[in-house]
Amino acid sequence: MTVTTWLAAIDASGFDGWTRAILINEAQRTRFPGDLPAGFESLAGGFADLGFENLGLDAVRMAFVGIGVVAPGTRHRLRNVRPGLSAVEPSVGGEEVALPDYWRQGVLVLGNDATWTGIGKRVPGEWLNGVDRSDRRDAGDGWVLRCRPPEPPAAE
């Protein structure tokens, strides 16, 4: 049996409704390894929570685990490949669901150093446990870490 999407794999496995719903919902908590196309660099890091539930995007969650969702103003789609792994790929033209223009406002990105590198403006405050935004700059849809000069070498 050839399975082409994570949604098809979920459905082929015969999970009960509760388990199926959990697998679909949790797919938005993922990582995007490798080099990402221009405009998607903010998703790079250790872990990204795309926050679709914070934006009320149920159709997006389903499409994300299926054929993917088109990013507005681009020729790319975001698609969950399997648990914990997603991709930004060229659009194939058959995607029926597109992300809204404000989709980045729900994204929360945890860098490899366990620092929130991206915080969307619609990410619930309780998720951040009082993260200090003084070391961040406003990037439109959210806040990103300010560039810091490298630390001087320690005196020997």
pLDDT-above-90 percentage for the chain: 52
pLDDT at res. 149: 44
Give pTM, 2 decimals. 0.83
Region 80-91: mean pLDDT is 94
First to last CA, the chain: 62
pLDDT at res. 154: 61
Locate 62 and state its tokens: 């389903």
CA distance 21 to 34: 28
Domain map (residue ranges) of the chain: 6-145
Share the mean pLDDT of the chain: 85
Each residue's pLDDT tens digit, 10-63: 999 999 999 999 999 999 999 999 899 998 988 987 899 999 987 887 889 999
